[in-house]
Amino acid sequence: MYWDDLAYFVCLVEKQTLTACAEAMNVQHSTVARRIEHLEQTLSINLFDRLGKRYVLTIEGERLYHQALEVKKEMVTFQRMAIDQNALQGKVVVSAPPVWANEVLMPALADFRQRFPDIVLALSGDVSMSNLHQREADIAIRTRRPTQEDLVVRTLGSSTYRFYAHDKYLKDTESEQWQLIEFQANARVLAWSQAFMQQQDYTIAFSTNDLYMACHAARQKIGFALLPDFLARQHTELVAVDPINRSTLTDLEIHSSAVNYLTTELLQPEQLDTHSPIPLAQSYPLYLVMHPDVRRSARVRAVADWLIDCSHRLSGFA
């Protein structure tokens, strides 16, 4: 039996069709069919039922699939260990939220290249949890703690959001006419803004699932928006506001709201309702996540240390 046959088997289970599996494996669909047929003949087991173009696991195939996943993980581990663990060269794949990657990592990229000229940093802007077991990424930066117990997790810091508006919008618009710019992509921020809307009876001027668009809308004087501090503070025209009392916040009030919030338990979406007090600032943790095998690599450890340095240079993240 060829070990590669198991990889085709696992891929076909996940993709369900020869065409999709072939695209994922970068081969012809006939190659996939041939490898699956070879595996079935070798094992003397019918692994799939063919339903049109779809391949559905048989009962026997279902039992072997879970074992094949474990074998694949072991093969990935073997490949990692075969690489020179002490070389500060080669590729390191980092998956991170797009705005955080653009605003935090990209400005520091030249410094990284100077310090580690032989390490190729492959940065993927992604908000979903990359599969670290199958090496879709070596390191993942995430705003939610992963549930897999075998992963190495380190808390980098916190990301503080608050309400911001253009200073001219505040001067030219009566406070009774203020409107909210809604950010939909982050479930916790969305729950916060929706609870705020229900309590304060504001209307929505603009809605987007892109944090950059929400920031640009605020800069275009469309309304006020919930933005991470590190992004809003890049634009001096954006001012922190208290939309509950319809006023701007002083530096002391900004500091006080952040400190007061950080000393309380993190509010989850289900805790924010029409009866809950609406905070003016909320902070969310940021995690660095690795598979335990890759942290033995010198180049991965170097990149992880650099990511930690980058996060410490800022008072907030996204």
pLDDT in tens, the chain (318 residues): 667 788 889 999 989 999 999 998 889 989 999 999 998 888 898 899 988 889 999 988 888 888 888 887 777 776 666 655 567 888 899 998 888 889 889 999 999 999 999 999 999 887 665 566 566 788 988 888 887 777 888 988 888 899 999 999 999 999 999 999 998 877 788 888 888 888 888 899 999 999 999 999 999 999 999 999 989 989 999 999 999 889 888 765 665 554 443 333 445 555 555 566 778 888 888 899 888 777 778 899 999 999 998 887 664 443
Locate 155 and state its tokens.
């808390």
Task: Give the pLDDT score at 268.
Answer: 52
Structure tokens at 23: 């695209």
Provide DSSP, 24-89. HHTS-HHHHHHHHHHHHHHHT---EEEETTEEEE-HHHHHHHHHHHHHHHHHHHHHHHHS-TT-S-
Instruction: Return the SS3 of 240.
Output: strand
Dihedral sign from CA coordinates of 164, 283, 258, 175? positive
Whether pTM > 0.75 for this model: the answer is: no
